[in-house]
């Protein structure tokens, strides 16, 4: 036997992966970053880093500012970001499972990189890679001197590959849960069973032997039309069987002198009736009834 696949397809079909971040949130973040960077570029040389620090804190990817020297300015921008994304409704946040997964990855990598580059730079590098994977940036946002850029870029590219795997695994988990929880379509009901009563009666009638007697529905003298049941309730007309009487069917070839059998029984003898059945009238099948922001140091608000 061959090795079992690590992740077999569910119901024989590949899982459809939804975007890890809602497109509306990606557009909002990129527009916010561009606007804030333009407005803060006259006040600080770390305008883009401040904007990304605000975004990461607002979305739960970081708990503290990654630009501590600009924390006062960052608080103002953070208030604007929190207010502006409320218009996105359910798409204003990242999925809690994704935030937790990326948080665990960041904490583990900080412990690995901290001895080489310090805790703050390690967090900055990891968050820059995370932002690129999520679509919030198309290049590194890691602050630092140009002499360190090449080294940072190489390390960030390694991180990007690992983060992509983490994000994809999160997407697969959500898709698997959604596939299991989706109710399957109920089977379509089949046609109702046909009532065999009418067919049975017809078949029986067609195979009955010919008889000199027929069944008529005329009432017999003295018979009650609708007797009451034992509980004293009158029987409905539909339920009351019709009284039956036997009548003799005339024979086209009968000879008055050929009734030797009847004559031998005596002058007053009656012809022997054939066995017959009375069916209630009406018996048989019943199937036929049936976009801009402005940043102000003194005021924490968004001006249109």
Q: DSSP secondary structure string, the chain?
A: -PPPPSSPPBTTBPPPPPPSS-HHHHHHHHHHHHHHHHHHTTT-TTHHHHHHHHHHHHTTS-SS-S-GGGHHHHHHHHHHHHHHGGGGGGGSS--HHHHHHHHHHHHHHHHHHHHHH-HHHHHHHHHHHHHHHHTS-SS----S-GGGHHHHHHHHHHHHHHHHHHHHHHHHHHHHHHHHHSPPPPPPP-PPPPP-HHHHHHHHHHTSPP-SEEEE-PPPTT--SSPBPTTSPBPPTTTSPPP-EEEEPPPTT--TT--HHHHHT-TTPPPPPPP-----TT-S--TT--------SS------
What pLDDT score does 129 carry?
A: 96
Is 103 part of any domain? yes
Is 89 part of any domain? yes
The residue-averaged pLDDT of 178-195 equals 61
Is 99 part of any domain? yes
| pLDDT over 50 at 284, yes or no | no
What pLDDT score does 190 carry?
A: 58
What pLDDT score does 15 carry?
A: 72
Is 75 part of any domain? yes
Is 108 part of any domain? yes
Tokens of 271: 């012809």
Portion of the chain with pLDDT greater than 70, in percent: 55
What does pTM read for this prediction? 0.57
Is 256 part of any domain? no
Is 201 part of any domain? no
What pLDDT score does 75 carry?
A: 93
pLDDT tens for each residue of 101-154 = 999 999 999 999 999 999 999 999 999 999 999 999 999 988 877 788 888 888
Grade residue 170 by pLDDT with cuts at 50, 70 and 90.
very high
**Exposed/middle/buried for 175, CB within 10 Å: 0-12, 13-18, 19+?**
middle
Domain holding 118, by residue range, is: 23-179
Is 79 part of any domain? yes
The number of distinct structural domains making up the chain is 1
What pLDDT score does 7 carry?
A: 42
């Amino acid at each position: 036997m061959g090795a079992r696949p690590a992740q077999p397809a569910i119901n024989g079909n590949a899982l459809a992966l939804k975007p890890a971040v809602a497109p509306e949130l990606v557009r909002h973040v990129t527009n916010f970053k561009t606007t804030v960077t333009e407005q803060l570029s006259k006040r600080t040389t770390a305008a883009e880093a401040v904007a990304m620090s605000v975004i990461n804190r607002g979305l739960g990817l970081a708990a503290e500012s990654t630009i501590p020297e600009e924390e006062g300015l960052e608080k103002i921008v953070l208030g604007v970001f929190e207010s502006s994304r409320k218009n996105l409704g359910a798409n204003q946040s990242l999925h809690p499972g994704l935030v937790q997964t990326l948080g665990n990855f960041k904490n583990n990598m900080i412990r690995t990189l901290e001895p080489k580059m310090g805790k703050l730079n390690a967090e900055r590098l990891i968050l820059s890679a995370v932002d690129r994977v999520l679509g919030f940036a198309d290049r590194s946002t890691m602050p630092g001197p140009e002499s360190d850029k090449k080294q940072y870029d190489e390390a960030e590219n390694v991180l990007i590959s690992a983060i992509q795997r983490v994000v994809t695994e999160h997407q697969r988990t959500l898709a698997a849960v959604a596939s299991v929880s989706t109710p399957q379509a109920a089977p379509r009901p089949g046609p109702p069973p046909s009532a065999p009563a009418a067919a049975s009666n017809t078949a029986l009638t067609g195979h009955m032997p010919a008889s000199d007697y027929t069944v008529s529905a005329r009432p017999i003298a003295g018979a009650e039309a609708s007797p009451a049941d034992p509980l004293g309730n009158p029987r409905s007309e539909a339920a009351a069987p019709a009284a039956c009487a036997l009548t003799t069917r005339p024979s086209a070839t009968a000879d008055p002198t050929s009734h030797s059998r009847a004559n031998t029984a005596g002058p007053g003898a009656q012809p022997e009736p054939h066995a017959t059945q009375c069916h209630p009238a009406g018996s048989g099948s019943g199937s036929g009834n049936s976009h801009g922001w402005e940043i102000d140091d003194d005021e924490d608000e968004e001006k249109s």
